[in-house]
Amino acid sequence: DTAVSQTPKYLVTQMGNDKSIKCEQNLGHDTMYWYKQDSKKFLKIMFSYNNKELIINETVPNRFSPKSPDKAHLNLHINSLELGDSAVYFCASSRRDEDGYTFGSGTRLTVV
């Protein structure tokens, strides 16, 4: 039973394409997140949703659009992909601040 699952695990695509990454959690958590990990392993929050409502929207290009159809899912759609979008994208979920996050295994996006 995977708690936070992301698909696909690897994604190689050309510049200018549009792609989506899906995330699902079966933990009953209220809050879900997207983080970007760059080539130097630095983790930066992109978005956070609580019960399907956007609560954190860091400074990311508007080519990135999160969508939460229900509180168990948070998908990330990226338009007009650029070389600089290459990174590992992690989905995570949490129930309470003090619990910390449960992370998915990541999606390695490579834009060529």
Residues engaged in binding another protein (CB under 8 A): 4, 31, 40-43, 45, 48, 50, 55-56, 90, 92, 94, 97-98, 100-106
| Nearest CB to another protein, comparing residues 3 and 15 | 3
| Nearest CB to another protein, comparing residues 48 and 80 | 48
Beta bridge partners of 13: 111
> Nearest to residue 23, comparing CAs of 79, 87, 66?
66
| Nearest CB to another protein, comparing residues 47 and 64 | 47
